């Protein structure tokens, strides 16, 4: 660890750290926009691939919901029985 002996050295170090933080922030902003902002497809093939991908995601969601419903249906039934018993 470097020991700073003058105010000028401290100010230079402070400015260097600020510049690194600015560079880091711009990098984070660029990477997050690359990840979260959807890209518009350029060609017909890319559009079709995007539609197929969206369809498969929808199918996966439906199948997961059905699987969870089959596996945990007893929870809902027991809640209904509890409500009937309570009233």
According to the model, what pLDDT value does residue 60 have? 97
How is residue 29 written in tokens? 């902003």
Lookup: tokens for 18: 């600020």
pLDDT score, position 84 = 75
Distances (CA, A) of 34 to 30, 37, 39, 46: 6, 6, 8, 17
User: d(Cα 57, Cα 51) in Å, to the nearest integer?
Assistant: 10
Confidence (pLDDT) at 87: 65
- Give the chain's mean pLDDT: 87
Query: Phi/psi at 72 (nearest 5 deg)?
Result: -115, 25
Could you tell me the pTM of the whole model?
0.47
Position 20 scores a pLDDT of: 95
Q: What is the pLDDT of residues 34-63, one digit of tens each?
A: 888 877 888 999 999 999 999 999 999 999
């Amino acid at each position: 660890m470097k020991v700073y002996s003058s105010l000028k050295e401290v100010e230079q170090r402070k400015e260097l750290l600020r510049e690194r933080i600015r560079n880091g922030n711009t990098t984070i902003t660029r990477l997050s926009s690359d990840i979260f902002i959807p890209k518009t497809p350029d060609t017909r093939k890319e559009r079709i691939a995007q539609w197929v991908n969206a369809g498969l995601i929808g199918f996966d969601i439906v199948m997961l919901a059905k699987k969870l419903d089959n596996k945990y249906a007893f929870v809902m039934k027991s809640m209904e029985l509890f409500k009937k018993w309570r009233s």
